[in-house]
Amino acid sequence: MKMFSLEGKSALVTGANTGIGRAIARCMAEAGASVIAAGRSPCDETVAEIKAGGGDARYLHLDLSERDAPRKLFAAEKHVDILVNNAGIIRRADAVDYSEEDWDAVIDVNQRALFFMCQEFAKAAFARGAGGAIVNIASLLSFQGGIRVPAYTASKHAVAGLTKLFANEWAARGINVNAIAPGYIATNNTQALREDPDRSKAILDRIPAGRWGDPDDIGGTAVYLASPAAKYVHGAILNVDGGWLAR
């Protein structure tokens, strides 16, 4: 058995059009998985990059704000071995001013949709008598409170809790469920922070590794959690943050 190989596996990665999701999709393909790059926005560049490297990938339109999206997806996709719940949204405002509209939008995508994606994945796996792996993307705000992101913080705490619940229920049935809590990663979402000298310095001063994370740091961790090497890892929330939480 090749401990870190995903050969012969099908991996569905949500939010695979850019940043961390794109890196996870590429790393999964490099490990041998056939990748379904899913997202509300086209994932053409992700698919092209994987194919250029000799991998197998295709795009699947998926809008997780549609409440029936998980059921429809797994009704159409009969064989998915690995599910990576990366897609998520964030809305910022002071807690005292936070609107119900923003709260509902964030909770629906980051928490509700993730729950039902996991549920439908497990139903499909049990129906065909197979196991599998789920990798949820949590956050440092699964451990911390943050500021001005109440719904995001609540949803990411929920991701951590649900990951443990799923592990408790499904580990004995062959499904590994774990989560990654990324630290400060160099993506388009953090470009403004990285270009602000004072803010960037303050962030880097707290990170023992002394650098911003690379999206592949998350991609490699996702491959590990989906691979045979992690077959006895269940319910872990693995922070990949350069040591941020340790300080």
| Domains of the chain: total | 1
Active-site entry in 152, 184, 224, 232: 152
The amino acid that residue 6 corresponds to is: L
**pLDDT score for 193:** 86
* 3 occurs within a structural domain: no
Q: What domain range is 87 assigned to?
A: 10-246
- Report, as an integer, the average pLDDT of 157-181: 98
Instruction: Give first-to-last CA distance, the chain, whole Å.
Output: 38
- The reply to whether 4 falls in a domain is no
Is 152 a catalytic site residue? Answer: yes
* pLDDT > 80? residue 1: no
* Domain contains 182: yes
Residue 116 lies in a domain: yes
Q: Do 7 and 228 touch, CB atoms closer than 8 A?
A: no
Q: What local confidence, expressed as pLDDT, does residue 192 receive?
A: 85
In a domain, 5, yes or no: no
Does 78 have pLDDT greater than 90?
A: no
Q: Dump pLDDT digits (tens) for 17-41.
A: 999 999 999 999 999 999 999 999 9
pLDDT of residue 188: 87
Q: What are phi and psi of 143, to 5 degrees?
A: -115, -30
Judged by average pLDDT, the poorest of 33-37, 171-175, 185-189 is 185-189
HSE-up (13 A, CA, CB side) for residue 11: 38
Instruction: Assign residue 179 the CATH number of its domain.
Output: 3.40.50.720
Looking at residue 189, its pLDDT comes to: 84
pLDDT at site 178: 99
162 within domain boundaries: yes
Determine, yes or no, domain membership for 201. Answer: yes
pLDDT on residue 223: 98
